[in-house]
A and B are shown apart, each in its own frame.
Chain A
Amino acid sequence: MRRLMLTLLFVLAPGLASAELEIFACEPEWAALAEEIGGDLVDAYSATTALQDPHYIQARPSLIAKVRNADLVICSGAQLEIGWLPALLQKANNRKVLPGNDGYMEASSFVVRLDATANLDRAKGDIHPQGNPHIQTDPHNIAAVARALSERLAKIDHVNSEHYAKNLKQFITKWEQALSGWEDLAEPLRGKRAITHHKSWVYLLRWLGIEEVEHLEAIPGLPPTATHLAKLTTEFSSGGADVIIRSPYQHAKPSEWLSERAGIPAIILPLTVGGTEGATDLFSLFDDILERLIEVMGDA
């Protein structure tokens, strides 16, 4: 009997309460941000990687177990995870992290969102009524979420609130310095025009002053069609766009096809931390994005 209890203890021990705050982030950028603000006091886990389309994730057992043990769930929100997060929350039996409670946080609710709409019709494809959820591509948004996250961590872990405030201050100082560097670097990109695979880049393009002229997907969420690509080829063969952008998890063929026929360079940009070799944390994410954009469009 004692041996059974000991074995059980060894099996269960790794999962039992630890001193760190357990943070479940739906996407890698929020796990990275949680580590910046929380430091050694938090253990951040990302449910998805940069190579996965966050709209289509399996609500699998390993994620349910992670939500079960989480003190804070932080996701982009605005219905980006509507296909899988509710199933996790329903099966995890963890009341702390249910919407409405302090343990649940939607990053996009702390920033100004673009493209919110009251016109909800699935004939128009994958519509996000509360606005475009891919907010992490504008560094100003990251700063806003960082402030909100620091407040929320202080709320659920009062004892360490000074620690979070200190980390926030350090992060914001570094971040604002990096931000002005990026903005200086990105001057030659203003006024350029981009074709994107999916509307995942609206915040980045607005920040850099790049115009989003077209999308490879005729209807958001549905794969690019041959007819639509042919139409784009005719429209842009003699100019009108400077680059075609896609995320690492998106199908390469449509970008490459259009690039060949219309003579426009096609590039991959990391949509979040881990999207490319160079994007290892939040700072290098934007370093890498700007490097790739300038390489292709930097000559004024």
Chain B
Amino acid sequence: MRVVGLMNAGLMLALFLSVPALAQDNEIEDIRAAIDELRADYEARISELERRLAVAEQNSTQAVYAAQQAQSMPSQPADSGSSAFNPAIGVVFQGFLTGYDGEPQEGEGFAVGETELIMSANVDDKFAAYLTAALAFEDGESELEVEEAWVETTALPAGFSARFGRMFSGIGYLNAKHSHTWDFADQALPYQAFLDGRYVDNGVQLRWLAPTDLYLEIGGEIMQGEDDPSGLGASSVFTNVGGDVGVSNSWLAGASYLDLDATTSLSMAHFVWKWAPQGNWKERNFVFQTEYLERRGTSTESGWYAQAVFQPIQRWRFGARADQLDLDGDDPRRYTVMMDWSNSEFSRLRLQFARSESAFDDGNQWGLQYIHSIGAHGAHTF
């Protein structure tokens, strides 16, 4: 600025010195015009310089941001050929300590539940694959059981999806849920009685999701079944509907039909309701679910369960469940309460107490359970 001022002054002086003392008015006007022009020219150049300075300052901020990024970016490990494209791998550890009242019974004491090894990845642009293997130690022997090993399409049009391999059937609500996601240490009675825990089989599943705002899914399966020489002995069809009520409530309802073999079939219905204030699941939430199962074979048997789990504050949950079976000659019933504490989403400790009543036996059972997972942990379904 000072240089320009000096130049301005110098120019004015030069102009005055070069003009005769007796200059006329219009010559003074010319001089003034020339000075104004010069001033305008310099001011334009100054504002141009100021603009370039502002841009440079902004660029330097960007440079600082970029430098921070370069500093904070983790160094990527070089692709080492065979270990590239690794699947997501996780392991879930479970263990139990159970006790019964009265006489010592089988199953009491410490037991390590299934240790699940879960792996999944995209196969290519059209398929994804998923494996769950369960490592168990039973009767003094180690067992490796393939729970699920399936391939699923990812690119079918019109809302379709197909899955093939060994899978937990899509019937019901609890059927496809892994034991480490259960809200109680043991499976609901109707599932134990009619499906031996859950229905898992080899086969093909096709699902269709309707293009509506209301969630509507229809699916069907053709599975191997048991004792059928054709290898296509079992089939199922199922549907799920769901939506929200306001911001705080979500629900899911469904019905399923499973044809186990020529003589046996299973009909099921389920309903789930989840609540969290403002839909903020983290702090406080409540879940209610119930299922009804009816097996028609040589005779008709049915059963149901209903459970509720409440999380009043982060980490603590309290649950209660009632199961009942309606069998030939017996109506077993069980009441269970549980309390669990989760240090994080990856570890859980549970205390559970149950009272069973049936025509043959009444008894109480208590249990402690731990569920801990490491590695990649897939997103949980509703």
Q: Which residues of A contact B (CB under 8 A)?
A: 11-12, 14-17, 48-49, 51-53, 55-62, 64-66, 68-69, 82-88, 90-95, 98, 100, 112-118, 122, 125, 129, 131, 221-223, 249, 251
Q: Roughly how many angstroms separate A95 CA and B281 CA in the complex, as a whole number? A: 28
Does chain A have a CB within 8 A of B106? no
Instruction: Report whether B242 and A118 are in contact in the complex, using a CB–CB cutoff of 8 Å.
Output: no
Contacts of A48 in B (CB 8 A): 279
Segment touching A, from B5-13, B45-53, B72-80 = B72-80
Q: What are the 8 closest A-B residue pairs judged by CB atoms, nearest first?
A: A61-B242, A61-B215, A118-B74, A15-B212, A87-B379, A56-B282, A112-B69, A60-B250
User: Is B107 interfacial (CB-CB < 8 Å)?
Assistant: no
Task: Output the nearest chain B residue to A126 by Cβ-Cβ distance.
Answer: B344
Residues of A near B265 (CB, < 8 A) are none
Choose, from B20-28, B157-165, B298-306, B361-369, the stretch at the interface: B157-165
Known: A58-B382, A82-B379, A93-B160. Contact between A65 and B75, CB under 8 A? no
A180 to chain B, nearest CB (A): 10
Q: Whole-angstrom distance from the CB of A90 to the nearest CB of chain B? A: 8
Contacts of B215 in A (CB 8 A): 61-62, 64-65
A118 contacts which of B75, B216, B247, B250 (Cβ < 8 Å)? B75
B381 within 8 A of A: yes
Could you tell me the dominant secondary structure of chain A's interface residues? loop
Task: Give which listed residue, B240, B241, B280, contacts A52 with CB less than 8 A.
Answer: B280
Q: Given A14-B213, A57-B281, are A116 and B244 also a contact pair (CB < 8 Å)?
A: no
B278–A83 contact, CB under 8 A?
Answer: no
Least CB separation from B158: chain A residue: A93
B2 within 8 A of A: no
Residues 235 to 270 of chain B near chain A (Cβ within 8 Å): 240-244, 247, 250-252
Question: How far does the Cβ of A244 sit from chain B's closest Cβ, in whole Å?
Answer: 19
Question: Is the CB–CB distance between A117 and B379 below 8 Å?
Answer: no
A52: nearest chain-B partner, CB-CB: B280
Q: Known contacts A58-B250, A64-B209, A114-B72; is A51 also within 8 Å of B156 by CB?
A: no
Given A61-B243, A83-B379, A122-B346 in contact, is the A51-B280 Cβ separation under 8 Å?
yes
B210 interfacial contact with A, CB 8 Å: yes
What A residues does B242 contact at CB under 8 A? Answer: 60-62
B214 within 8 A of A: yes
Beyond A60-B382, A61-B250, A62-B242, whether A68 also contacts B211 by CB under 8 A is yes
A12 with B250: CB separation less than 8 A: no
B379 in complex: contacting residue of A16, A84, A112, A115, CB < 8 Å: A84
A113 to B247 CA separation, bound complex (whole angstroms): 31
CA A153 to CA B283, docked complex, whole Å? 36
User: Which chain B residue has the least Cβ–Cβ distance from A131?
Assistant: B72
**Bound state CA distance, A12 and B152, in angstroms?**
27
User: Which chain B residues numbered 158 to 175 have a C-beta less than 8 Å away from chain A?
Assistant: 159-161
Q: Which residue of A lies closest to B287 (CB)?
A: A58
Residue in contact with B381 in the complex, picked from A17, A51, A87, CB distance below 8 Å: A87
Q: Given A62-B244, A83-B345, A116-B74: A91 and B278 within 8 A (CB)?
A: no
- Measured CB to CB, the closest approach of chain A to B348, in angstroms, equals 14
Listed by A's residue number, 12 A-B pairs whose Cβ atoms lie within 8 Å are A60-B274, A62-B243, A64-B209, A65-B213, A68-B159, A82-B379, A87-B378, A90-B152, A100-B125, A112-B65, A116-B72, A251-B283
Chain A hits for B217, CB < 8 A: 91
Asked if A53 contacts B282 (CB within 8 A), the reply is yes
- Tell me the B residues contacting A by CB distance below 8 Å: 65-66, 68-69, 72-75, 125, 128, 152, 154-157, 159-161, 207-217, 240-244, 247, 250-252, 274, 276, 278-283, 314-315, 343-346, 374, 378-382
A49 and B247 in contact, given A112-B66, A251-B283 (Cβ under 8 angstroms): yes
In the complex the two chains form, what is the Cα distance from A123 to B63 in whole Å? 34
A100 — nearest CB in chain B belongs to which residue? Answer: B125
Chain B contacts for A129, CB-based, 8 A? 74
Beyond the given pairs A60-B274, A65-B215, A112-B65, 15 more chain A to chain B contacts, judged by CB atoms under 8 angstroms and listed by A's residue number, are A15-B211, A15-B212, A61-B242, A61-B252, A64-B209, A65-B209, A84-B380, A91-B217, A93-B160, A93-B208, A100-B125, A113-B69, A118-B75, A131-B72, A251-B314
Q: Which residues of A contact B252 (CB under 8 A)?
A: 60-61
Complex CA distance for A291 and B378, rounded to whole angstroms: 41
Q: Which residues of B contact A15 (CB under 8 A)?
A: 210-214
In the complex, the answer to whether A60 meets B213 with C-beta atoms within 8 Å is no
B279 and A52 contacting across the interface, CB-CB below 8 Å: yes
B276 cross-chain contacts in A, Cβ below 8 A: 58
Contacts of B156 in A (CB 8 A): 93, 95
- Residues on B with C-beta less than 8 A from A125 are 344
Contact B281 A59 (CB under 8 A): no
Are A11 and B379 in contact, CB atoms less than 8 angstroms apart?
no
| Beta-carbon nearest neighbor of A120 in chain B | B74
Q: Are A93 and B381 in contact (CB under 8 A)?
A: no
A60 lies within 8 A of B244 (CB): yes
Q: Measured between alpha carbons, how far is A109 from B372 in the docked complex, in Å?
A: 32
A73 to B: closest C-beta gap in Å? 14
Known contacts A12-B210, A65-B213; is-contact A59 B379 (Cβ 8 Å): yes
Q: Give the interface centre of B66, B159, B207 by most chain A CB atoms within 10 Å.
A: B159
A270 to chain B, nearest CB (A): 14
* Nearest CB of chain A from residue B183's CB, rounded to whole Å: 14
Cβ-defined contact, B282 with A85, below 8 A:
no
Pick from B241, B243, B344, B381 the residue with the most CB of A within 10 Å. B381
Q: Knowing A59-B379, A92-B209 are in contact, say whether A249-B72 is a contact too (CB < 8 A).
A: no
